[in-house]
Amino acid sequence: MPFVRTSVRKGTSQDRKSQIVAGVHQALIAAIGMPEDELFNMVAEYEPGDFFYDRTFNGIARSDDLVVLEITLRRGRSDAMKRTLYASIASRLEEAGISPKDVFIFMHENDYSDWSVGNGAFAMAIVQQRGSDT
Question: 58: helix, coil or strand?
Answer: helix
pLDDT at 113: 79
Q: Give the model confidence (pLDDT) of 11-22 as tens digits.
A: 999 999 999 999
CA 83, CA 43: separation in Å to the nearest integer?
Answer: 23
pLDDT of 92 over the 80 cut: yes
Contact 85, 32 (CB under 8 A): yes
What is the average pLDDT across 53-78? 94
Q: Report the alpha-carbon distance of residue 105 to residue 6 in Å, rounded.
A: 9
Arithmetic mean of pLDDT, 33-37: 92
**pLDDT higher than 60, residue 75:** yes
Q: What's residue 116's pLDDT?
A: 75
CATH of domain 3-126: 3.30.429.10
User: Does residue 115 carry a pLDDT above 80?
Assistant: no
Closest CA to 85 of 109, 119, 49, 118: 109
Give yes or no for residue 130 having a pLDDT over 70: no
d(CA 76, CA 79): 9
Is the pLDDT at 81 greater than 80? The verdict is: yes
Q: Picking from 39-48, 59-68, 109-118, 125-134, which range would have the lowest pLDDT averaged per residue? A: 125-134
**Known catalytic residues?**
2
| Confidence check: pLDDT of 117 > 80 | no
